[in-house]
Amino acid sequence: MRRLSVFIQVSLDGYYSDSKSDMSWARKHDAEWNEFVSGNASGDGELVFGRVTYQMMASFWPTPQAMQMLPAVAEGMNRMKKVVFSRTLDKAEWNNTRLLKGDLVEEVRKLKSEPGPGMVILGSGSIISQLADAGLIDDFQVAVNPIVLGSGKSMFATVKNRTNLKLTKTRAFTNGNVLLCYEPA
């Protein structure tokens, strides 16, 4: 069975975006962080997005600006297979992307049962919440950024079921970010 992971950046107070959907605060780049992100993008997994995150990523990573700023990440993001869940998109034009319109939980169950590499949800807080509630996420990689937003969107806003997690790894970065890795206990 394929594994489903989450990679998301949050503020110290637990928000993945502020109350105006701004995520520019999560772009604290330095050489160490860029090396880490580039290493993550070099894999052969499949990326999983909700519509909003997909549209944001698809508007940036295929551009010359992305190739200039973070060439290894841009190459990986454009090369990797991608799945976008949306009931409103008519097509997904970013390279190697398939659009799924069915029930999110059932579609992910099917994807997990298929052969293939692991899958990683990038951002997409609303689908994280739904899939966490369904017990379909195998590990959470949460990069805590040293900023307090005061309000915003939580990736667990709609979770109804308590989920106990166990810490599997931590890493502190020189830019102040701290990576916390958890899996269901």
Structural domain total, the chain = 1
pLDDT value at residue 161: 87
pLDDT value at residue 99: 97
User: Which range marks the domain in which residue 167 is found?
Assistant: 4-184
Q: Is 149 helix (H, G, I), strand (E, B) or coil?
A: coil
Contacts of 178 (CB under 8 A, 6+ apart): 143, 144, 170, 171, 172
Q: What is the chain's mean pLDDT, rounded?
A: 92
Residue 34 near residue 170 (C-beta atoms within 8 A): no
Instruction: Enumerate residue ranges in the chain where pLDDT < 70.
Output: 41-42
pLDDT value at residue 42: 66
Q: What is the pTM of this model?
A: 0.90
- Give me the CATH number covering residue 173: 3.40.430.10
Residue 72, classified by CB atoms within 10 Å of its CB into exposed (0-12), middle (13-18) or buried (19+), is: middle
The pair of structure tokens assigned to 106 is 């059932």
